[in-house]
Amino acid sequence: EDVRLKINSRERQRMHDLNSALDSLRQVMPYSRGPSVKKLSKMSTLLLARNYIVMLTRSLGEMRSLV
């Protein structure tokens, strides 16, 4: 029973850490943050971040080719 409690506690802490990291990511992602905008889901946050990184990478490549 004590082992199970420790496992549960670690899992709770892991989920808190994951949620904190996703909240931090949401803070820097370019999407509307108005009061009427629903908070992005975990999956939506990750997909938006991935697409944003791809877009920035392509933009950087285009800028390098112009210079």
pLDDT tens digits, residue range 17-61?
999 999 999 989 887 677 777 888 999 999 999 999 999 999 999
Indicate the pTM of the whole model: 0.78
| pLDDT given for residue 13 in this prediction | 98
User: What was the pLDDT predicted at 32?
Assistant: 62
**pLDDT in the model for residue 61:** 97
pLDDT of residue 31: 77
CA 50 to chain centroid, in Å, comes to 9
Fold held by 1-66:
MYOD Basic-Helix-Loop-Helix Domain, subunit B (4.10.280)
Q: Any alpha helices (H) in 1-67, and if so which ranges? A: 2-28, 42-66
